[in-house]
Structure 1
């Protein structure tokens, strides 16, 4: 019998990679999308004809109940969130409502529909924040340093609560930073790779960043969604840290990114105080030994490969956009002679 999966946040980086993975495994894939006039489906354009999109909102209980009832999923992957840490400072209430309470709404939608669906919650390394130990594992206490981190802690513990209170199959993946060419432009990694590409093509002359000393455990999103799936294939539900176990600074990311384009980062990177946060998380590094043993999971793409992949993708993307603009100009009514201008 074909399995059904419901993915919230399917139009995001992780959602798109997970949808592709599940399709390869023969799933019927349903994706929750917000009721907006312009749904950004750019990341799932190549699979739009293979998936089923359902309108709903993590802030609207009735729409989640309806989406679960309509999709009748065997597995639910909750990847929806206001996921940019920086924006959570200016939108703390919205972040708490969607990223935190949204988890409770979705779990409740499964419960009231009386479905025996397995549930994956996208927890975050930002929950550790001002970590009391390095590396961080499943037993490390949480000390979030942003409204986003606080909201994720609520989402994590409400997931645990539903598992313990109702016997639901609920897993949380405490994922450390994971990037790809599909990362949003608001994230520092994509800001760097896109900035390098723009400088490479002569569109910009500098790249402004905040704290270059912040250290993160960066992995490849395509590797990490496989861990999500593996969690829901186990006999018993549990929580797992997913990380590479390596830490790198934003400065190192810059060095490799500019080097990939044949450029010297020191000539182009400028520190801008506007991009410094009220409370900074200086160091995050995960211990994924539990997942490696229990799930037989391990990252495949190295840090350097990831950075180079992102830079090359953005260089190619800007080149394609440039060619498309050139073609559009060549075929414009004025230039082609179809429209005469006095």
Structure 2
């Protein structure tokens, strides 16, 4: 039974990856940072199958301890301060958690006494102000946010440790990937959640920034399989993972409102300048030919599949939450004094 250590296991990708590896027969360890609360919503159904290790990306020794406790054969480094908008407000913290933490993990792997295969979660945001379209492994990088810059540091450190110390270290340059487990701070989930509330009569307006930004959106469940496949290859390398199809934020809004039967969504959507980024990335479109050729990876979910699954999930979730609130309110108001 191989052992896998996942940082960022409570996030969208971490939860799907943990499910995938457990199905493959792995013993899965998750790195969690000690806090007063533990956000286990995405992995609640897996709590009995995952072993958790307290560690912090800012603490080198705790990462080394996590490796020794897990005796990991594979390490998936998914943890980061990953919201692009917040990275402009907290550039230093973004550098610590998204950039320097990669070096700390690589150093820990270098110092243990057994071979480990390492996956680094890189991102299409490293391309930023794109030089060519579509983007592949040879496209020059030009990040346009502190998040993109920090991810680029981690990406090149992974390459450097691979070349300098002969580590089996891979970077997956993943384009945007969504699911019902996406955080509410991301524009796709913000849209699906708001449209669900509008459908249920609980919200009147959805506020957005740039409707014309175009992204290559895939399904997170497909993309974690690509992470695993990278570490099963004979030699380590870096791979772009994408669908090869780009849609605008406007397209996402169209598909979301269309699913609830609204053709003209203009009365429900307001664009506000405060939500525009200081430096915008206009379009990202990936070319995953290398991954397709090397290990036969192809996406299975369409853009419409992703949007519809997110809307369906949020309608159920919001409706259940409202029902719970009503029950609590009824119980409170009917209690005798």
- State the TM bucket, normalised to the shorter chain: over 0.9
Q: 1:261: how far off?
A: 1.2
Q: Corresponding residue for 1:272? A: 272
1:176 aligned onto 2:175: yes
Q: Corresponding residue for 2:226? A: 227
Q: 1:34: how far off?
A: 1.1
In structure 2, distance between residues paired with 1:35 and 1:115: 27
In structure 2, distance between residues paired with 1:192 and 1:325: 23
In structure 2, distance between residues paired with 1:85 and 1:105: 22
Q: 1:114: how far off?
A: 2.4
Q: Corresponding residue for 2:42? A: 43
Q: 1:324: how far off?
A: 1.6
Q: Corresponding residue for 1:247? A: 246
Q: 1:115: how far off?
A: 2.8
Q: 1:153: how far off?
A: 0.5
In structure 2, distance between residues paired with 1:125 and 1:300: 20
Structure 2 runs not aligned, ≥5 long: none
Q: Corresponding residue for 1:156? A: 155
Q: 1:198: how far off?
A: 1.0
1:282 aligned onto 2:282: yes
CA offsets 1:206-248 (integer angstroms, 9 cap, x no match): 1000000000000000000000000011111110000000000
In structure 1, distance between residues paired with 2:278 and 2:284: 17
In structure 2, distance between residues paired with 1:140 and 1:184: 29
Q: Corresponding residue for 2:190? A: 191
Q: 1:111: how far off?
A: 1.2
Structure 1 runs not aligned, ≥5 long: none
1:311 aligned onto 2:311: yes
In structure 1, distance between residues paired with 2:222 and 2:61: 34
Q: 1:330: how far off?
A: 3.4
CA offsets 1:292-331 (integer angstroms, 9 cap, x no match): 1111100000001101110111011111111222222333
Matches within 5 A, 1:201-216: 201-216=200-215
CA offsets 1:247-271 (integer angstroms, 9 cap, x no match): 0000000000011111232221111
In structure 2, distance between residues paired with 1:52 and 1:302: 34
In structure 2, distance between residues paired with 1:330 and 1:210: 39
In structure 1, distance between residues paired with 2:114 and 2:278: 42
User: Please, which moves more after superposition, 73-82 or 52-61?
Assistant: 52-61
In structure 2, distance between residues paired with 1:107 and 1:72: 15
Q: 1:69: how far off?
A: 1.1
Q: 1:273: how far off?
A: 0.6
User: Please, which moves more after superposition, 322-331 or 273-282?
Assistant: 322-331
In structure 2, distance between residues paired with 1:142 and 1:298: 24
Q: Corresponding residue for 2:32? A: 33
CA offsets 1:131-163 (integer angstroms, 9 cap, x no match): 100000001010000000000000000000111
In structure 1, distance between residues paired with 2:218 and 2:265: 22
SS in 2 for 1:10: coil
CA offsets 1:54-80 (integer angstroms, 9 cap, x no match): 111111111111111111100000000
User: Please, which moves more after superposition, 263-272 or 222-231?
Assistant: 263-272
In structure 2, distance between residues paired with 1:196 and 1:10: 28
In structure 2, distance between residues paired with 1:74 and 1:206: 48
Q: Corresponding residue for 2:14? A: 15
What's the TM-score once normalised by structure 2's chain length?
0.98
